[in-house]
Structure 1
Amino acid sequence: MSERTNAAEKARRARLATPTDLKADATRDISAALRGLLADVFALYLKTKNFHWHVSGHHFRDYHLLLDEQGEQIFAMTDPIAERARKIGGLALHSIGDISRHQRLADNDADYVDPQDMLAELRDDNQRLVTILREVHDTASSYGDVATTSLLEVWIDETERRVWFLFESTRGGPGAND
């Protein structure tokens, strides 16, 4: 990196610096964890909306409304995640490309997905998101960042609720495929 580029980078970072009592390593690690989380939340939001838009079949109305409700809940997480990263002096995501570079949850670009497969895939993705949320919680907790851990605890509960609803919607048994 040239001296001029290095100076420009330092100036940019100084303009975005936010006062915090967290140490530099805490800001670095927590904001990086939040960036990855934010990418996964955006990926899950878009997949949930994709399935909401493309669900069909006998339980269309129930699934369509369930996925719309879940999509709204997932999207509601995005701004607080990004703002938390900024509040502690870190960066949030910048673009769709940035999301794709950080996301761990897989996209689904299939033209048709069976409704039960949609729900099962979203159940598994939400369960993976619970794991990611707990990992970010551990990172924030290790630095004593109670504000971040507090937010994460609510999102863990909400995500577990989505897993539960999706699990119950995909259970087999009499009348399961009515």
Structure 2
Amino acid sequence: MATPENTVSKLEKPDPQIRIGIDEQDRTQIAEAMTRLLADTYTLYLKTHNFHWNVTGPHFNSLHNMFETQYNELWTATDEIAERIRALGVFVPGSGKQFSELSSIAEETGIPDWESMLRQLVEGHEAASRSAREVFKVADEANDQPTADLVTERMTHHEKTAWMLRSMLQ
């Protein structure tokens, strides 16, 4: 789970020569929040890919295919988030250890049944949506429309996916 000690500023300060209309302190705060969203997204990607490989049961085919669509979208999202962090002039963490320390989503090392997989993914998408909301607050305050736009898209995606997964459990 993310803690203040695990912030981006400990990893790397933003490039002070970047002059995009967002001061260095704001870029640092935005990048720190974005890094937590990146860690959540990457952890959710790994979990979804794991579930794609290991799902069993009466809904195997539909879940296997759905998980593939979801992990592909999450993979693309990790790149978009990381590239926005770099555009803010901050280096991006890229190790499993760093992501594990920063993520609010627990890893899954076992093989749960298909219903537990769906529940975990609902929880993961809801957590990622909450992380995106935190980024939005900081980005909006700093007048950073590109980041606000990116995380608005992420919230929309995570909330829709959580709803669809939740619906399969009813």
Judge same fold: TM > 0.5, yes or no.
yes
Which whole-Å CA distance do the structure 1 matches of 2:109 and 2:60 have between them?
A: 20
User: In 2 relative to 1, CA 129–13 (structure 1 residues): closer, same or farther, beyond 3 Å?
Assistant: closer
Per-residue CA deviation, residues 79-126 of structure 1 (Å, 9 max, x unaligned), is 11111111111221132222122111100101x311011001101111
Match of 1:129 in 2: 128
Partners of 2:16 and 2:24 within 8 A in 1: no
Using the TM superposition, give the Cα deviation of residue 20 of structure 1 relative to its aligned residue in structure 2, in angstroms.
2.6
Q: Structure 1 residue runs of 4+, over 4 Å off? A: 12-17
Q: Which has the larger radius of gyration?
A: 1
Matches within 5 A, 1:71-90: 71-90=71-90
With over 3 angstroms needed to count, the CA separation of the structure-2 counterparts of 1:151 and 1:37, relative to structure 1, is same
- Asked if the contact 1:18–1:86 (Cα under 8 Å) also holds between the matched residues in 2, the reply is no
**Equivalences for residues 138-153 of structure 1 within 5 A:** 138-153=137-152
Q: Is residue 2:5 matched to residue 1:32?
A: no
What TM-score, normalized by structure 2, do the two folds share?
A: 0.87
Quick one: structure 1 residues 120 and 65, their matched pair in 2 at CA, closer, same or farther if it must change by over 3 Å?
Answer: same
Please list every run of 5 or more consecutive structure 1 residues that lacks an aligned counterpart in the other structure: 1-11, 172-178
**Residues 96-175 of structure 1 correspond to what in structure 2 (within 5 A)?**
96-110=96-110, 112-171=111-170
Displacement, 1:170? 0.9
Measured after TM superposition, the shift of residue 167 of structure 1 is: 0.7
Matched AA of 1:142: E
**Unpaired stretches in structure 2, ≥5 consecutive residues:** 1-11
**What TM-score do the two structures reach when normalised by structure 1?**
0.84
Alignment partner, residue 3 of structure 1: none
Alignment length (residue pairs):
159
**Distance apart, 1:21 and its partner CA:** 2.0
**3-state SS, counterpart of residue 116 of structure 1:** helix
